[in-house]
Amino acid sequence: MTAPTTSTQSPNVNSTDPKIANEVGVVFAHEFYTFLNKDPARLHCFYNKHSTMSHGYQGEQIQVFSGQQAINEKILELDFEDCKVLVSNLDCQGSIHGGIVVQVLGEMSNRGGPAQKFVQTFFLAEQPKGYYVHNDIFRFLKDD
């Protein structure tokens, strides 16, 4: 199995090219949520020592986790098992230094529980063999 950080190849392209940003974002989201479902213990491989992640609920203050080790500890604490994600919207934009902003809107269920609406925003930073998650902001949304 290819390591998640190297599976999406980084083309040498102007960061403003919306087609490339969208293609990379779609492939990334598919791989990320597949790992979340099938191998959550390896989800931290999408991040590196420069990454930050926050995870919480709408309207609440959330803690920021910095570095791959702290992010891995938080992922393990979240206890993902048979996590299913239904993506309703996926928006991507090219950004600075060849990075890509990916925003996902959808529903997530974990351990067979009820689905909850969420929004997740990633900044994918370029690296020699593709991209890594530099920033990850996740919030469950309140039902209105």
- In a domain, residue 80? The reply is yes
Q: What is the pLDDT of residue 125?
A: 96
Q: What is the pLDDT of residue 104?
A: 99
CA atoms of 80 and 82, how far apart (whole Å): 7
Q: What is the pLDDT of residue 143?
A: 85
Residue 121 burial (CB count, 10 A): 16
Q: Domain containing 26: what range?
A: 16-140
Residues in the chain, pLDDT under 50:
1-3, 5-9, 11-14
Q: What is the pLDDT of residue 17?
A: 84
Q: What is the pLDDT of residue 67?
A: 98
Structural domain total, the chain: 1
Q: What is the pLDDT of residue 12?
A: 47
- In a domain, residue 75? The reply is yes
Q: What is the CATH number of the domain that holds 48?
A: 3.10.450.50
